Amino acid sequence: MEHLFERLTDAIQHATGYIYPNEAELHWNILIVIYPYITGLVAGAFILASLERVFNVKELQPTYRLSLLTALSFLLIAVVPLQVHLAHPERGYEMFTTPNPQSAMAMFGFVYLWYLMAVLLLEIWLDFRKDIIQWANESKGLKRLFYLVLTLGSKDVSEKAIEFDHKFGKLITIIGIPSAFLLHGYVGFIFGSVKANPWWSSVLMPIVFLFSAIVSGLALMLLVYMVSNWVRRKQNAMDCLDKLSSYLLYMLIIDFSLEALDFVHRLYESEESIHILSQLIGSKLFTSFFVLQLLVGTLIPFTFLTLTKLVRIGDTARKVLYFASGILIQIGIMSIRWNVVIGGQLFSKSLRGLTVYKIELFGMDGLFLPIAILIAPIFILIVVVKLLPPWPEAELSK
């Protein structure tokens, strides 16, 4: 008990103005920051895959399988930050066995399961089915056994069956788009429906989250595609990069407009919370809001991407600009998540004071754990890509 008092006293000393005692320490920490960030990447990567599949954007074909596998790698990790933060992962299954339909958070478990099992895994399996059968036939030993299990007993590689795969896969992608929207829109919904928090409570929240998710996913795929080509010493397909960056630019503009709309709307409404919120972004969130989110994460990549569209620039320079934009946008989207999750807890519900968030390095609340969680999907992706090569030369069906 004593050490709790000491922590509380310490935290209160860093607060400015008046805060309630239970606001001195933040309950949702950096793990909850990376959770919407990761689900956003999943939703965004899937939307990119659907562009090729459903909307027939042929230039994006080289990224199709890669983005499905990327979405899967990140989705497998998406709930880990939540599980770690709640500190009782062994109870996680209870949300399925005793579901509470009144809780949006509990219902997310089903959205997640649906998205993982019915959309992503099924689509990947259908798309790779013919290749898996082929690989099973060609390989030996354990590898053969592995691929045989992956075939799930299917053997039919007739033209008719392959055509059916494509049709069925397209149907799943069509179902997948609203599912991806649901997956990430839900995360925004959770924040947007917290009535007591004026920084969160907004009907625009799910939509803003969704578009920022698409932006982050497209930027991620731009990076993954370029890095994978660099590792494999292959040339980037420039028309694919150009198309991908165009979509990235459009989505960035929509996302920025929505955020700006939300911001201006708050300013114009000027509710009683406006004073503390302007103090918040003017002091505690100044760097992460104005510098990282707005300047580094939005305006600079916007300028870069616009430049590549308006001015004739050589391939190498264009690639540098695309890559830089991808990195900067990731920083920007991470800042958006930070500003929402941490920013929303930095001001008192009394609207009279601000607290601070001091991050530790080690332990469950530390900085290293979320970094490890963020890196994990990259390793998963490396393994998945080794098992199911998404590259055109490995693709046997075409």
Partner 1 sequence: MSKLKEKYLAIPEQIRIVTVLFAIFLIMFIFGRRLFIPKTFGEYGHYRAAAVDDIMQIGLVYAGHQACAECHDDVVAEKSQHMHKHVACENCHGPGYAHTQAPDEHPLTIPTDRSYCVLCHSYNPARPTGFPQIDPVTHNPDGACIDCHQPHAPQPPEVPEECGSCHERIVRTLGAGHHNSLPCTQCHDIKQEHKITPRDFLPTVPRTREFCGTCHSTKASSAKEIRRVDIVTHGENYFCGQCHFPHNPEVKI
Residues near partner 1 (CB under 8 A): 17-18, 93-94, 96-98, 100, 117, 122, 125-126, 129, 152-156, 161, 164-165, 168, 350, 352-353
Q: How far apart are alpha carbons 287 and 104 in whole angstroms? A: 32
Beta carbon nearer to partner 1, 122 or 367: 122
Burial class (CB in 10 A: 0-12, 13-18, 19+), 62: buried
Shortest CB 279 distance to partner 1, Å = 12
In whole angstroms, how close is the CB of 97 to partner 1 at the nearest point? 4
Cβ atoms of 177 and 117 within 8 Å: the answer is no
Beta carbon nearer to partner 1, 132 or 219:
132
Alpha helices in 61-152 (DSSP H): 61-78, 80-86, 94-97, 104-113, 122-138, 141-151
* Cβ atoms 355, 19 nearer than 8 A: yes
C-beta of 231 vs 396, nearer to partner 1: 396
CB nearer to partner 1: give 58 or 88: 88
Neighbours of 154 (CB within 10 A): 15
Minimum distance from residue 258 beta carbon to partner 1 (Å): 34
Nearest to 368 by CA among 84, 83, 41: 84
- CA separation for the pair 115, 119 (Å, rounded): 5
The least distance separating partner 1 from the CB of residue 26, rounded to whole angstroms, comes to 20
- Taking the complex as a whole, the smallest distance from the CB of residue 280 to partner 1 amounts, in Å, to 15
State the Cα–Cα distance between residues 134 and 374, nearest whole angstrom: 34
Q: State whether residue 34 is helix, strand or coil.
A: helix
Of 161 and 396, nearer to partner 1 (C-beta) is: 161
Between 17 and 366, whose beta carbon lies closer to partner 1?
A: 17
Q: Least separation, in Å, of the C-beta of 93 and partner 1?
A: 7
